[in-house]
Chain A
Amino acid sequence: MSVPYALLGILERGPAHGYELKQESDAVLGSPVQFGQIYSTLGRLEKAGRIRLAAEEPGLGPDRKRYEITADGVEEFRRWLAEPVAPEPRLQATLFTKTVLALQSGLPADEYLDAQRAAHLGRMRELTARKVDADISTALLADYALFHLEADLRWIDQTRARLETLRQEVTR
């Protein structure tokens, strides 16, 4: 789900080859992505005008194609970063990805995390309001989501507190 944005984020820093994109997006997404998916995503992004081919280097085959991001792409990437993800249990590594990408691009990851925190809390408030004066099954169902949301929040707070150290590590 975050693959296109991972690619945009990597390209936001500067043009890159398919191979570089594959390696870096693996690290950022937390799990490996197939080459095929990378290339098909690149194709879609190009079609949507978010990226374009950079000046070709003389070389052998499509690996040598370099992509670069467009102004549209930059705008789209930043919008995606600033907009909180719909809070749902188990965002997988999306939050991690967003944080790392933002740090690497020198963008305000702390603000993004704060906004995410607020969104999570808003959702938790909705769920909790349902619990007051409700029956047990309603309360427990809400609790299921609440516990997971709490886990996310804990991660957010922890990451927020260690943001500087993380930034130094991922921008090496």
Chain B
Amino acid sequence: MSAPVITGHGLVKHFGPTAALRGVSIDIQPGEVVAVVGASGSGKSTLLLCLAGVLRPDEGEVHFRGTRIDDASEAERSRLRRSDFGFVFQFGQLVPELPAIENIALPLLLDGVSRREAMTRAAEWSGRLGVDDVGAKVPGELSAGQQQRVAIARALITGPSVVFADEPTGALDSLAGEEVMLLLAGLARAEATAVVIVTHESRVAAYASREVLLRDGAVVTRAGVA
């Protein structure tokens, strides 16, 4: 087994008096799809945000490709977000003022890629996600399913090592959710990108090769494929 791409070790996180994570450890192998499941309040989203370097754990460490990231500066972790990590959240993640195609290109533009190249790659990815016909529209003019596909394109355009998805189908109806998951799973497999997906839906968790079950901030079972 090769080295894990992301590891969290002994993660503890409090929000005021509430303990969201009480010592969680997890390894994500390159290219694998892992589902983090559990009831509301079990700490799933907190775990995801800690692994992604968005939240700093109170205790414990997070390593990305062997380098510790939980104690990195905000600037360094921001750079991780635009080159090595991709994000697909439930909603509220696209810049309302920019058209879809520029939203997709945003991480590249922030990383200093030339505008022309960024837009070319964005056009390619919007085609793969089936939103090239609405590229000029702003998020407010898109359906929820289209918005999520734009978000996936944005997450994948940088060729990330890991995509972090938090309830990606939460705001979608059954059919749109199905399309989104098929796209995400298929493209991640094609690009050999690891996916950590937080969900409370079993049919979404079924896209993962294994699941990590959280209850009250601790890992309960690890059901895996032999």
- B209 touching A125, Cβ below 8 Å: yes
Which residues of B are found within 8 Å of A154, using beta-carbon distances?
202
Interface residues of A in 12-43 (CB under 8 A from B): none
Contacts A124-B202, A125-B206, A150-B202 hold; do A118 and B186 have CB atoms under 8 A apart? no
Per-residue 0/1 for A35-67: is the Cβ within 8 Å of any B Cβ (1 yes, 0 no)?
000000000000000000000000000000000
Contacts A114-B221, A131-B182, A132-B182 hold; do A121 and B203 have CB atoms under 8 A apart? no
- A125 touching B208, Cβ below 8 Å: yes
Contact of A149 with B by CB under 8 A: yes
Which residues of A are found within 8 Å of B128, using beta-carbon distances?
none
Contacts A132-B189, A133-B186 hold; do A153 and B225 have CB atoms under 8 A apart? no
Contacts A125-B209, A132-B189 hold; do A149 and B182 have CB atoms under 8 A apart? no
Q: Using CB atoms, name the residue of chain A closest to B208.
A: A125
Contact of B205 with A by CB under 8 A: yes
- B182 touching A121, Cβ below 8 Å: no
Chain B binding surface SS class: mixed
Most buried by B among A117, A132, A146, A161: A132
Contact of B223 with A by CB under 8 A: yes
Which residues of B are found within 8 Å of A133, using beta-carbon distances?
186
Bound-state CA distance A114–B39 (Å) is 14
Interface residues of A in 143-165 (CB under 8 A from B): 143, 146-147, 149-150, 153-154, 157, 161
- A122 touching B202, Cβ below 8 Å: no
Bound-state CA distance A118–B205 (Å) is 12
Pick the 5 closest A-B CB pairs, nearest first.
A124-B206, A118-B223, A128-B206, A153-B202, A150-B202
B residues neighboring A (CB under 8 Å): 39, 178, 182, 185-186, 189, 201-203, 205-209, 211, 220-221, 223, 225
A residues neighboring B (CB under 8 Å): 114, 117-118, 120-122, 124-125, 127-128, 131-133, 139, 143, 146-147, 149-150, 153-154, 157, 161
The 26 sampled A-B contact pairs (Cβ below 8 Å) are A118-B221, A118-B223, A120-B202, A121-B205, A121-B211, A121-B223, A122-B223, A122-B225, A124-B202, A124-B206, A125-B206, A125-B208, A125-B209, A127-B206, A128-B203, A132-B185, A132-B186, A132-B189, A132-B207, A146-B203, A146-B206, A149-B202, A150-B201, A150-B202, A153-B202, A161-B39
